[in-house]
Amino acid sequence: MVNSRVEDKQFPRIKRLKLGDKILDLSIPRVMGILNVTPDSFYDQSRVQSESQALKLAEKMISEGADILDLGAYSSRPGSLNVEEKEEIARITPIVRALKKEFPSVPISVDTFRSEVAKSVLNEGIEIINDIGGGLLDPEMFSVISSSKAAYILMHMRGNPQTMQKQANYSSIFSEVASEISDQLSKAKTSGIHDIILDPGFGFSKNVEQNFELMKYLPELGVLGRPVLVGISRKSMIYKTLDITTEESLNGTTVLNTISLLKGADLLRVHDVREARQIITLLDNFS
């Protein structure tokens, strides 16, 4: 079933990406495990405050089937407080070094919208920059990525984490998201970035209803010819809809991750790696 997911035959999607000196095969979906070097990320089980905590959580995720580790030092939840650039670098650099030393074969993604932070971690050998700003929040981001061997996750968002939910005004959610992400994709390619993953940005400058509407049209992103990442793990579209807590949102996350895979997602960004890997295994047994 995984290999017969929704595909656009007229606009075939890239299925192999270079991640530095590594190759990521996307002929089957991949799982990205979330580690947050922050005190205020919305799901506290993803937070690590020390190298030892980061190594322990990373080891657990890898043992459960994580293909990539995604490390962030700036909480991007709605209304989060701004973190100074120097603080973001100070938080993330020692954790990156520890993870690269302990798990050299596992690709590491760093979640940042700042080019100086990206430059700092690229110098430490990380393979992916995950940019929630899609190049809009820092005009130097594209040039930093293009001068490296890293892959780039280009996410759709309007505004910044402090203002984004005030900009969830769309006449047509999918057409506007697709148009805006396509514009940034074109600029990224013109800047010389080749290995690009697209993220429609569930929860970023979108309300609950808009998130569900956007998910309906997920297969249509295939016309852009790039791998698609979905990050809906334990987000408000789940817990607000079901009137539950973030901690109670694993079952809802599994349901929506399954739908995302059936609609063509190539990567799942998750807090719960084992359950995401189980979805992929079960779907693959229907092929």
Question: In angstroms, rounded to a whole number, what is the distance separating the alpha carbons of residues 141 and 107?
Answer: 20
DSSP 90: H
The CA dihedral of 259, 262, 263, 267, to the nearest 10 degrees, is 90
Residues 6+ apart with CB under 8 A from 278: none
Question: In angstroms, rounded to a whole number, what is the distance separating the alpha carbons of residues 283 and 286?
Answer: 6
Residues 6+ apart with CB under 8 A from 76: 111, 132, 161, 204
Point out the catalytic residue in the list 235, 240, 263, 274: 235
| 235 is an active site residue | yes
Point out the catalytic residue in the list 13, 30, 269, 277: 269
The token pair at 22 is: 């590594």
Nearest in space to 199 (alpha carbons), one of 215, 187, 186, 213: 215
| 158 is an active site residue | no
Is 152 strand, coil or helix?
strand
DSSP 193: -
Strands 16-19 and 22-25: antiparallel
Phi-psi region of 164 (alpha: psi -120 to 50; beta: other; left: phi over 0): alpha
The CA dihedral of 259, 260, 261, 263, to the nearest 10 degrees, is 90
Residues with a catalytic annotation lie at 235, 269
